[in-house]
Structure 1
Amino acid sequence: MLDCFKKTYAAEGYFGMYRGSAVNILLITPEKAIKLAANDMFRHYLTLKDGTLPVFRQMVAGGLAGACQIVITTPMELLKIQMQDAGRVAAQAKAEGRKIERISAMQLTRSLVKERGILGLYKGVTATAGRDVSFSIIYFPSFAILNDLGPKDPVTGASAFWWSFLSGCMSGSVAALTVNPMDVVKTRMQTLTKGSGERQYSSVLDCITTTLKNEGPTAFFKGGACRMMVIAPLFGIAQTVYYLGIAEKLLAKL
């Protein structure tokens, strides 16, 4: 992680760390809205007549929610990865005496649509689905169980603000590390521009077998610490804000 930070800083400066953030800012809100609302909807429909929701049904609800979000997640991840990888490609070209003009997310989107059609934005959708569905299967039941164990508001019966945040952080960290192998596969599948010695993968299975053969099983956990550091506060904040009902309160005034 430190080596990556040093090299990125040397090649692109501090703001190179924020490359691809515009895509994230634009699409992360609808993605999380779909994910959280869909989970609640499926939990409602899967609840038994006696009001209980077994863990298996919670897992099904989470998995279905994860499947719903990929319509937004796949193009968001694809564009974000390309923007983040642009600095690496430019630095490599500079070292070879070449110069590559960096393009914006909008230019990249137009180029992909022009060359491959709208489906060009969904490259790596299988790996993305595998990651997000499995993540949600783990995350949502874990959060619900942990959140229910904490202190409750005596009036509303809702979990304390800080406990919901911690529950989201803990559940997000565990789920992120567990599905990190599929995140590695997804990232490699969605990296369109390859450097020397790198290859394009024909399928998810090809990516898994090739990586396992050339780099060993530990390669599937590269970036795991970074991912946990990002996902923990991301889901802690998102889940807490969602449970506070801020959107409902705002919409009620309209």
Structure 2
Amino acid sequence: MSQQQMSLPAKLINGGIAGLVGVTCVFPIDLAKTRLQNQRQGQQVYKNMIDCLVKTVRSEGYFGMYRGAAVNLTLVTPEKAIKLAANDFFRHHLDKDGKGLTVYKEMLAGCGAGMCQVIITTPMEMLKIQLQDAGRLAAQQRKPGIMSTTKLVPTNTVLSRSYNVTPSPTARAVSATQIARHLLLTQGIRGLYKGLGATLMRDVPFSIVYFPLFANMNKFGKPSPEEPAPFYWNFLSGCAAGSTAAVAVNPCDVVKTRLQSLSKGANEESYKGVVDCVTKIMQREGPSAFLKGAGCRALVIAPLFGIAQVMYFVGIGEFILGQTPFNLLSA
């Protein structure tokens, strides 16, 4: 037991490195997901993920695909560290008899991990979404067909709740620090945690599905119960479990994205909370709106968690702290 406790710092290092590597690889797809989820019916700027990425590069340059990446890379280290280490921590304490975990206990451990990570996830996503969606709002205002819809709602009414919507050089220069400072000054710490309920609603079920599914799929790749699965099996298990869990909770992710978007485009409604958001989306866009960005989300989460699990199980943290794993060298 003491040995397991001693390895907690190493697990935090592994989770942090895993998050950095994974996010760097898949961030452009995550940006496309956010922009597609925020599109309303009749106001489409992008047809699909590829169209979104192509138009982003044309209008904002290559680095436009990485808008909001800085805040994500800064906070994903503690976020992934907490998520992966918390799951291991809960699994360890739920398996005190050493007989292995039932699926129920695995789900319980995943639930605990999901609840812990939102401490970092909520403000991280809050800031990231504002930066990612800025290009969509600018493109929407440039599109004549969409601009005509502003007749229905006065401009000052639509933009009154926005932080910065205009596609001017000033809007493009807004940083995560400026948005965070604005929220803290106007709303206090509560401003950074807008959408906390929706984030919990997404991340807790995700972890409940993901961690037990990954653990059980990973068992099939083990040569024996005592030996770890090879790194490629960790990757495949992480991809399969991640994409399954991502699609399963995509409706919650759509709701979370809408609630956390401070800036609104022409004729885009605001929401009072989770129930109001779900009701308005259902009434105005139909059930299919809850699947917006599902393909992108699966493409983001699959490699993200595949890479994360490989990095996590390679044991870089243990290697750095002189506790020796670095399993890849002995594979």
Q: TM-score if structure 2 supplies the norm length?
A: 0.72
Matched residue count: 252
Structure 1: stretches of 5+ with no match in the other structure: none
Distance in structure 1 (CA, Å) of the matches to 2:175 and 2:193: 18
For each residue in 1:103-136, what CA deviation from the matched residue of structure 2 results, as whole angstroms up to 9, or x when unmatched? Answer: 1111111111111111110010110111010100
Distance in structure 1 (CA, Å) of the matches to 2:314 and 2:81: 14
Residues 1:131 and 2:179 are matched in the alignment: no
**1:160 aligned to which of 211, 230, 241:** 230
**Matching residue of 2:285:** 215
State the SS of the aligned residue for 1:150: coil
Residues 1:195 and 2:243 are matched in the alignment: no
**1:117 aligned to which of 182, 185, 188:** 188
For each residue in 1:212-239, what CA deviation from the matched residue of structure 2 results, as whole angstroms up to 9, or x when unmatched? Answer: 1111111111111111111111101111
Distance in structure 2 (CA, Å) of the matches to 1:152 and 1:127: 40
Aligned counterparts, 1:230-245, within 5 A: 230-245=300-315
Distance in structure 2 (CA, Å) of the matches to 1:152 and 1:84: 43
Could you tell me whether the CA contact under 8 Å between 2:137 and 2:167 is conserved in 1? no
Residues 1:2 and 2:50 are matched in the alignment: yes
Residues 1:104 and 2:175 are matched in the alignment: yes
**Matching residue of 2:90:** 42
Structure 1 residue 6, shift from structure 2 partner = 3.5
Structure with more contact order per residue of length (Cα contacts < 8 Å, sep ≥ 6):
2
Structure 1 residue 153, shift from structure 2 partner = 7.1
Structure 1 residue 10, shift from structure 2 partner = 3.4
For each residue in 1:49-86, what CA deviation from the matched residue of structure 2 results, as whole angstroms up to 9, or x when unmatched? Answer: 25221101100110110000000000100100001112
Structure 1 residue 16, shift from structure 2 partner = 1.3
- What is the RMSD computed on CA atoms of the aligned residues? 1.9
Moved more, 50-59 or 138-147: 50-59
Aligned counterparts, 1:55-74, within 5 A: 55-74=103-122
For each residue in 1:137-194, what CA deviation from the matched residue of structure 2 results, as whole angstroms up to 9, or x when unmatched? Answer: 000000000001114379x611111101110011001001111110000000000010
Distance in structure 1 (CA, Å) of the matches to 2:82 and 2:167: 43
For each residue in 1:23-45, what CA deviation from the matched residue of structure 2 results, as whole angstroms up to 9, or x when unmatched? Answer: 11111111000000000111111
Distance in structure 1 (CA, Å) of the matches to 2:72 and 2:291: 23
